Chains A and B, each alone.
Chain A
Amino acid sequence: MSRILFVMLHPGFVRYYDDALQALAAAGHDVHVAFEVSRTKLGEDVTARRLAERSPGVTCGSTPERPESVREFLARGDREAIRSGAPLASSPWSREGREEAWESLATTVRLLVDYLRFFDPVFAYAAALRARAEKRVPQVYRRWIRLVARGGAAARTALAGALSAVEYTIPPNRTLEAFVREHNPDLLLVTPLVELGSQQVDYIKCARQLGIRSALCVASWDNLTSKGLIRVIPEHVVVWNEAQKREAVELHGVAPGRVAVTGAQLFDPWFEARPSRSREDFCRTVGLDPGRPFLLYVGSSVFIAPDEVPFADEWLAAVRASADPAVARLGVLIRPHPANARQWQAFDASGFGNVALWPPIGTDPTAPDFRRDYFDSLYYSAGVVGINTSAQIEAGIVGRPVFTVRAPQFAHAQEGTLHFQYLVGGTGLVRAAASLDEHVRQLAEIGGGTSAGAAGGEFVRWFVRPQGIDVPAAPVFARAIEALARLPRPAPRDAAWRWTALRPLAFVLARVARALAEDRPLWVYAIRPFVTAAVRTWALAFRIHEAWHRSVTSGLRRTGRRVYCVWYESSREARKRMRRATRKVAAAIRTAGVAAKRLARRAEGAIGRVVGRQL
């Protein structure tokens, strides 16, 4: 049985591989899932915990902490931040300081490569994706990248090559190496690897160095086209379908023989699911008229639809204004995207009638009923409408007709993304309209039927279950992973001598990258040595002053103590002598008194005798 180490960016990725990991554990493999960062926004940690509880063969944990995560790198360079001053916790020449510098260089190089890729002609319309990548690059590099990118394909290739060379000079992280060695897996899996500036590249590098087979599992349908590059290519890439295989080969330079097509395992439950209640019950629960068919509007993510509510308003108005009474009277169920639900607080359904927003904003997406309710929404709907979301694929699986409107405000997320073309292209399942008028006319064709038709089925077969519409993808995925884990280990590959030789030079770059990652104006770097020198001089002066103050104070205190001591001792002695003298005087007085008394008595006796004699 094999040991598998699966490195995920955060626990949110568990939901993509839930069933497949359980299948692997059930087959007797030891699977350890390690998360780079924790995430609780949508209850992702709960999903991970449940997975570990369900399968004894699966364990979950975290990866070693990095000296500087991508998030910290970006936070340090945030010009808008008020309190982004990074403490100089360690000396730049200490081990920690050196590691921070290497991490800074690695993140910088990866962000630059990711930004550069969006200048490729394939991404000519992807202005929003390019802008998103640009925002993460420190400002000082941006104009240079733009300048080179405008120089044409040759200039871009040369720059990408140079950046790639820098990537190879970066030494593998020792802590990660120890972590991977400790787990000693037969197969190292990573996902998503292509996040902008992703540090998961280091796991692939470590695996190479240790002679461990590695594979990238592509989690979602947009991963290879809307995010960064696979910068260091692992031994294998596991994808959903042929479209993704083409993306991996053409956009990321993966050899076709390294790509395994397994299907979209996360959609398996949708093929098996059955409604949990009757249509009437469902409509009553959500607040729709059970007597009328309804449309399901599925919300999109923040990047796709940052301002979706005004569009939904217009869309609803267009539906209600339809000349076809059957369309105008359709019920409408709005289902916000769980990660983009907040904006729907401003939505007001009261003006339309037979419109409901469900589930309520703030519903826990990890609740057991959440997916069941979602399925019921899809199952009982007459059609599904959305901008660009995987919910449209799910609607296709359930067999509902799916629609979209090409709206100018969402051009960045429709024409501007490659994955949207799969939905609306030749084999796509989504019927796209150029305007709301056309869209409403399309809705009229729903009529009494509620099937996605042949186009939907064909799309699902091609995109979701390429191994056969009746073949669940999770077991295929598990078998593919098992097969990879059984393959003999590759020979350990140390970094080539030329990269090692260039390392001192690269370290200078690393120090520069570390400084520039702060993304400050250049004059700040110019004055920093003087400011630092001034502050340190001040600190030195302060310390000297403190020391002087301390020594003077203590000297005075010592002298004072001595004076007091002398005074105390002498006064004590004086008091003692005084007491003795007093005692002596008192004794003398006492003696004199006694003598005087004695004399007086004698005198009295003598006088008495004289007087007696005379009488």
Chain B
Amino acid sequence: MSAKYPRLHVLAASFWREWHRELRRQAGDERLPYQIRVRLRHAADRALRRSAVEEQRGVVPRWNRRALADAAPTRLSADDEQRGRRLAMECGIVPGQPIVTVEIGQRADRLSDAIERLSAEGFRIVRIGNPVAGPLRGRDVLDVASDPRRTPVLDLYLLLTSAFVVCSSAELQQAALIGHTPSLRIDAHDAFTAYPVRRDGIFTLATAVDLDTGRPLAIQELLTERYFRNSRNYGYRATSAAEITAAVGEMVEGVRTGWRESDAQRRFRQAVADAGVAMGHVRHVAEWDGASGFIGDGRLARVQAERAL
């Protein structure tokens, strides 16, 4: 899928697109003979098709899933690690205590039960990221997100030293991936963006709703070309508190006793990989390296996979 000179393909796509428009413009001249106008329109259509092909060739995947799966973990430099540890201690984190970092962009209240569960399991919950989603309440919660001492180094240190991270942003999921921190991504809008590369990653999908009809889409419908062709026609309902709690339970189980996957999860991975290969021409899928046949070793949360398949 990757091109040798992607920039050239992008330029070529732009050229053919403009050429298409110019031919269409010329074809609009009613003074020209009908046959010439028809041939100009056909030429314009060919130019548009070439533009689409070049555009496809110009797509550079944002990452290489296979390479990332095999990559060694990224670590902080000794200085940064020391600085991060010192800041963490200043914020009240006891060295050696298992922590779970949490970043949530929307409705923090959905995590209440999950936090209870984590507290019961002996984890300290540390909130990082943007505090805009409202307060995260719980007895073992430490809100670093709204702490004035918060720095990017502290966020990264906490992320890399935590038992796992619960996040709703793709950036944090990817940061966890390169640091080999297990991650639970919640509220993903599609499987190709969020499918975890490593075995210790889990994700949940938000419920997509067709804004024309109000019909919630089945998870399998998120693997169709139609969904990606008209993505502005969908709204999203956040993952429910019960599903988040179940997914957090699955993470705890994975961290403690090893990562196992159910038959439904395996089949869902296969369905995503197959859909990726079939939709290699869809820009979004190509961008997220979903067309290579290898989507990752992670899983859709068991609770959703069993509902989907």
Contact surface of A with B, Cβ cutoff 8 Å = 82-89, 309-310, 313-314, 317-318, 320-321, 342-343, 345-348, 351, 361, 408-409, 436-437, 520-521, 523-524, 527-528, 531-532, 535-536, 538-539, 542-543, 546
Task: Tell me, in angstroms, the Cα distance from A254 to B109 when the chains sit together.
Answer: 52
Minimum Cβ distance to chain A for residue B217 (Å): 11
Q: Are A345 and B210 touching (Cβ within 8 A)?
A: yes
Task: Tell me, in angstroms, the Cα distance from A437 to B143 when the chains sit together.
Answer: 16
Q: A321-B109, A524-B22, A528-B22 are in contact. Are A346 and B209 (CB under 8 A)?
A: yes
Which of chain A's residues have a CB closer than 8 A to the CB of B132? 408-409
Minimum Cβ distance to chain A for residue B25 (Å): 4
What is the chain A residue whose CB lies nearest that of B208? Answer: A346
Q: Are A343 and B211 touching (Cβ within 8 A)?
A: yes
Q: Tell which of B23, B48, B214, B241 touches A345, judged by Cβ atoms closer than 8 Å.
A: B214
Q: Are A88 and B210 touching (Cβ within 8 A)?
A: no
Task: Tell me, in angstroms, the Cα distance from A475 to B26 when the chains sit together.
Answer: 56
Task: Tell me, in angstroms, the Cα distance from A542 to B33 when the chains sit together.
Answer: 8
What is the chain A residue whose CB lies nearest that of B235? Answer: A346
Q: A83-B24, A84-B21, A351-B240 are in contact. Are A89 and B30 (CB under 8 A)?
A: yes
Q: Tell which of A87, A318, A346, A437 touches B28, judged by Cβ atoms closer than 8 Å.
A: A87
Q: Are A343 and B134 touching (Cβ within 8 A)?
A: no
Which of chain B's residues have a CB closer than 8 A to the CB of A536? 32
Q: Are A520 and B40 touching (Cβ within 8 A)?
A: no
Which of chain A's residues have a CB closer than 8 A to the CB of B28? 85-89
Q: A346-B209, A351-B240, A539-B33 are in contact. Are A314 and B48 (CB under 8 A)?
A: no
What is the chain A residue whose CB lies nearest that of B24? Answer: A85
Say what secondary structure dominates the interface of chain A.
helix
Which of chain A's residues have a CB closer than 8 A to the CB of B237? 346-348
Q: Tell which of B27, B33, B109, B212 touches A543, judged by Cβ atoms closer than 8 Å.
A: B33
26 residue pairs A–B, Cβ–Cβ below 8 Å: A82-B48, A85-B24, A85-B28, A88-B29, A310-B107, A310-B238, A313-B106, A313-B107, A314-B107, A314-B133, A342-B212, A343-B211, A345-B212, A346-B209, A346-B234, A346-B236, A346-B237, A348-B237, A409-B132, A436-B134, A437-B135, A524-B21, A535-B36, A538-B36, A542-B33, A546-B33
Task: Tell me, in angstroms, the Cα distance from A409 to B132 when the chains sit together.
Answer: 10
Which of chain A's residues have a CB closer than 8 A to the CB of B257? none
Q: Does B230 sit within 8 A of A, measured CB to CB?
A: no
Which of chain A's residues have a CB closer than 8 A to the CB of B137? 321
Which of chain A's residues have a CB closer than 8 A to the CB of B23? 85
Q: Which of B118-153 contact A (CB under 8 A)?
A: 132-135, 137
Which of chain A's residues have a CB closer than 8 A to the CB of B33? 539, 542-543, 546
Q: Are B109 and A317 touching (Cβ within 8 A)?
A: yes
Minimum Cβ distance to chain B for residue A6 (Å): 36
Q: Are B35 and A542 touching (Cβ within 8 A)?
A: yes
Which of chain B's residues have a CB closer than 8 A to the CB of A347? 235, 237
Minimum Cβ distance to chain A for residue B209 (Å): 4
Q: Does B274 sit within 8 A of A, measured CB to CB?
A: no
Minimum Cβ distance to chain B for residue A139 (Å): 13
What is the chain B residue whose CB lies nearest that of A311? Answer: B106
Q: Which of B211-230 contact A (CB under 8 A)?
A: 211-214
A-B pair number, CB within 8 angstroms: 105
Which of chain B's residues have a CB closer than 8 A to the CB of A348? 237
Q: A314-B107, A531-B22 are in contact. Are A87 and B134 (CB under 8 A)?
A: no
Minimum Cβ distance to chain B for residue A81 (Å): 8
What is the chain A residue whose CB lies nearest that of B132? Answer: A408
Q: Are A85 and B27 touching (Cβ within 8 A)?
A: yes
Q: A88-B25, A310-B106 are in contact. Are A539 and B32 (CB under 8 A)?
A: yes
Which of chain B's residues have a CB closer than 8 A to the CB of A317? 107-110, 134
Task: Tell me, in angstroms, the Cα distance from A199 to B82 when the chains sit together.
Answer: 65
Q: Are A309 and B48 touching (Cβ within 8 A)?
A: no
**Which 6 pairs show the lowest CB-CB distances between chains A and B?**
A346-B235, A87-B28, A85-B24, A85-B25, A345-B214, A346-B209
What is the chain B residue whose CB lies nearest that of A314? Answer: B107
- For chain B, the count of residues having a C-beta within 8 Å of the partner chain is 44
Contact surface of B with A, Cβ cutoff 8 Å = 14, 18, 20-33, 35-36, 40, 44, 48, 106-110, 132-135, 137, 209-214, 234-238, 240-241
Q: A343-B235, A542-B35 are in contact. Are A532 and B214 (CB under 8 A)?
A: no
Which of chain B's residues have a CB closer than 8 A to the CB of A436? 134
Q: Are A87 and B22 touching (Cβ within 8 A)?
A: no
Given contacts A310-B107, A528-B22, list 20 more A-B pairs with CB under 8 A: A82-B48, A85-B23, A85-B25, A85-B27, A87-B29, A87-B30, A88-B25, A88-B28, A89-B30, A314-B133, A346-B236, A348-B237, A408-B132, A520-B21, A521-B14, A531-B26, A535-B26, A538-B36, A539-B33, A542-B35
Task: Tell me, in angstroms, the Cα distance from A517 to B37 when the chains sit together.
Answer: 24
Q: Are A342 and B211 touching (Cβ within 8 A)?
A: yes
Q: Tell which of A87, A309, A521, A546 touches B18, judged by Cβ atoms closer than 8 Å.
A: A521
Task: Tell me, in angstroms, the Cα distance from A309 to B35 when the chains sit together.
Answer: 52
Minimum Cβ distance to chain A for residue B36 (Å): 5
Task: Tell me, in angstroms, the Cα distance from A159 to B30 when the chains sit together.
Answer: 39
Which of chain A's residues have a CB closer than 8 A to the CB of B210? 345
Task: Tell me, in angstroms, the Cα distance from A85 to B28 when the chains sit together.
Answer: 7
Q: Are B24 and A314 touching (Cβ within 8 A)?
A: no
Q: Are A539 and B211 touching (Cβ within 8 A)?
A: no
What is the chain B residue whose CB lies nearest that of A534? Answer: B26
Which of chain B's residues have a CB closer than 8 A to the CB of A351? 240-241
Minimum Cβ distance to chain A for residue B213 (Å): 8
Task: Tell me, in angstroms, the Cα distance from A347 to B209 when the chains sit together.
Answer: 9
Q: Are B134 and A314 touching (Cβ within 8 A)?
A: yes
Task: Tell me, in angstroms, the Cα distance from A347 to B240 when the chains sit together.
Answer: 13
What is the chain A residue whose CB lies nearest that of B28? Answer: A87
Minimum Cβ distance to chain B for residue A88 (Å): 4
Q: A314-B106, A535-B40, A542-B33 are in contact. Are A524 and B211 (CB under 8 A)?
A: no
Task: Tell me, in angstroms, the Cα distance from A84 to B27 when the chains sit together.
Answer: 12
Q: A82-B48, A83-B24, A88-B25 are in contact. Are A345 and B18 (CB under 8 A)?
A: no
Task: Tell me, in angstroms, the Cα distance from A343 to B133 when the chains sit together.
Answer: 20
Which of chain A's residues have a CB closer than 8 A to the CB of B106? 310, 313-314
Most chain B Cβ neighbours within 10 Å, of A346, A351, A532: A346
What is the chain B residue whose CB lies nearest that of A436? Answer: B134
Task: Tell me, in angstroms, the Cα distance from A546 to B32 when the chains sit together.
Answer: 13
Q: Are A361 and B134 touching (Cβ within 8 A)?
A: no
Minimum Cβ distance to chain A for residue B43 (Å): 10
What is the chain A residue whose CB lies nearest that of B105? Answer: A310
Task: Tell me, in angstroms, the Cα distance from A346 to B132 when the chains sit together.
Answer: 21
